[in-house]
Amino acid sequence: MKNKIYIETYGCQMNFADSEIVSSILNKAGYTNSRTPDDADYILINTCAIRDNAEQRIRKRLRELKALQRQRPTLKIGILGCMAERLQKQLMEEEDNVSFIVGPDAYRNLPSMLSHIAQGERLAETMLSETETYDDIEPVRYDSNGITAYISIMRGCQNYCAYCVVPYTRGRERSRDPQTIVNEARKLVENGYREVTLLGQNVNSYHWESAKRNAESEELDSHTPSLISVGFPELLDMVASIDPRLRVRFATSHPKDLSDNLLHVMAKHDNICKCIHLPVQSGSARMLKLMNRHYSPEWYLDRIDAIRRILPSCSITTDVIAGFCSETEEDHQATLEMFRRVRYDYAYMFKFSMRPNTYAAKHLQDDIPDDVKTRRLEEIINLQGQIALENNQKEIGKTYEVLVEGVSHRSDQQLFGRNSQNKVIVFDRGDIQPGQYVHVRVTRCTAATLIGTVTTKQ
């Protein structure tokens, strides 16, 4: 039986978490993971569809893999994830070296599909589910550093932002049973992991409820039904309470769901990292309404003020889109002003890319010239670079507890880790090992990185 699989993952953290679920499903069915595509029997490409350039990367990768298939004609290639969901028909018609297409909610069918594909069939399964959360599957941390791990707590999205394909590629929002999340986190601690990141498209809209059972009979009480309800603040409290030495992070938050209750839970636990990723997308009220973001600039700034008030040391990061449909220079200036007001520590900044089947594609015009989009994006990038450098310069002289994650990319004589605020700090290696906590005093910085000296280690 040819059963070696190689998984390539593109896109967001959710995709990497999904690849670990896929690996678990296939390992239980007798397939083994290959560390290289060169000796794999099946190459599975887990894809992203958030922007056109993400999809073009996959198209290019498929062309590259044709050379490998010419050397090994029995090699089978499959497309997983969001691009598979969005482009099932086109991929099967246009990419003749693709044998199977599998959407994000159909991974349990992979073992059966691969057995048919081995006989020369081409198959596709992209049916979205309203219930699938994979909460009974223990992910295989096949590409992990053994220190940090992702835990997917929910799937899908139903905010329907005008520019976004996620509701169409990942389906409606549904949350995992909180006990399965706690159990997964606890097992990671037992296996030596020191940090978990709770993942969801809009993580702070997590909501799970179940009918309460009679304590004696364990039967559902049909006469007086009641619900056990768990929101994200309660879940975060549960995970943080597992072990005080387990760091807990989460992403991504939606501004409309960021409650004071959540911020107070973060303040309560030292091991909940003080960093919030809060996508703004635009500083213009008109743009936010057109984007269907469900909040105003005033609401967003109120949430920023609440973070500063309840969590004074918290870092804030964001996403922003330059050149959305009909964006004026006034709208663009409002975004720049939002950056000056909030002073983000980091930002993911992109030009608008029209995605098929979204509200924008059906009802709006991509009418901003590309050179204008590029100029506006460069202005945002330049401003954010200046702000990030100024923010980091204020860190010089401060000492932070850092979880050591690995060897620096620039020098094998240095290690790197992150502080609670999710800022990368680089320092001399000495006899320190990944997985340790160290205290590092910041001595200098760049706009992206803090550099420091270890003062104590644990």
pLDDT in tens, 366-397: 999 999 999 999 999 999 999 999 999 999 99
179 or 457, which is more confident: 179
Structure tokens at 35: 């560390």
pLDDT of residue 217: 44
Residue with tokens 């990497």: 16
Q: Could you tell me whether strands 32-33 and 207-211 are parallel, antiparallel, or unpaired per DSSP bridges?
A: unpaired
E strand or H helix that includes residue 424: strand 424-428
Using CA atoms, how far residue 329 sits from 85, 372, 376, 421, in Å, is: 36, 10, 9, 33
pLDDT of residue 227: 63
**Closest to 88 in 3D by CA, of 183, 209, 169, 193:** 169
**Closest to 297 in 3D by CA, of 266, 349, 344, 339:** 339
ω before 224 within 30° of 0 (cis)?
Answer: no
Calpha distance 269→6 (Å, rounded) = 39
**Closest to 49 in 3D by CA, of 4, 12, 102:** 12
pLDDT of residue 335: 98
| Cβ atoms < 10 Å from Cβ of 311 | 18
Q: Binning pLDDT at 50, 70 and 90, where does residue 51 land?
A: confident
Alpha helices in 72-106 (DSSP H): 82-86, 88-94
Residue with tokens 């009418």: 367
Contact 46, 19 (CB under 8 A): yes
Structure tokens at 140: 């295989």
Q: What is the CA radius of gyration of the chain?
A: 23
Encode 68-83: b = buried (16+ Cβ within 10 Å), e = exposed.
Answer: eeeeeeebbbbbbbbb
pLDDT of residue 298: 98
How far from the centroid of its chain's Cα atoms is residue 321's Cα? 18
According to DSSP, residue 39 is labeled G
According to DSSP, residue 213 is labeled B
Calpha distance 410→131 (Å, rounded) = 45
Rounded mean pLDDT of the chain?
94
310-322 residue pLDDT tens: 999 999 999 999 9
Using CA atoms, how far residue 240 sits from 155, 268, 270, 327, in Å, is: 21, 10, 9, 42
DSSP-based three-state secondary structure for 108: helix
pLDDT of residue 221: 46
93-117 residue pLDDT tens: 999 999 999 999 999 999 999 999 9
What backbone torsions phi and psi does residue 60 show, to the nearest 5 degrees?
-65, -40
265-309 residue pLDDT tens: 999 999 999 999 999 999 999 999 999 999 999 999 999 999 999
Amino acid at 129: S
Q: Could you tell me whether strands 227-231 and 207-211 are parallel, antiparallel, or unpaired per DSSP bridges?
A: antiparallel
Calpha distance 134→138 (Å, rounded) = 9
DSSP-based three-state secondary structure for 305: helix
Residue with tokens 């004609």: 73
Check pLDDT > 60 for residue 54: yes
E strand or H helix that includes residue 403: strand 399-407
Bridge partners (DSSP) listed for residue 76: 42
Q: Per-residue pLDDT averaged across 433-451, rounded?
A: 97
Calpha distance 197→426 (Å, rounded) = 21
Domains of the chain: 4-125 (3.40.50.12160), 148-207+229-393 (3.80.30.20), 399-457 (2.40.50.140)
Check pLDDT > 50 for residue 249: yes
Encode 209-232: b = buried (16+ Cβ within 10 Å), e = exposed.
Answer: eeeeeeeeeeeeeeeeeeeeebbb
Bridge partners (DSSP) listed for residue 346: 317
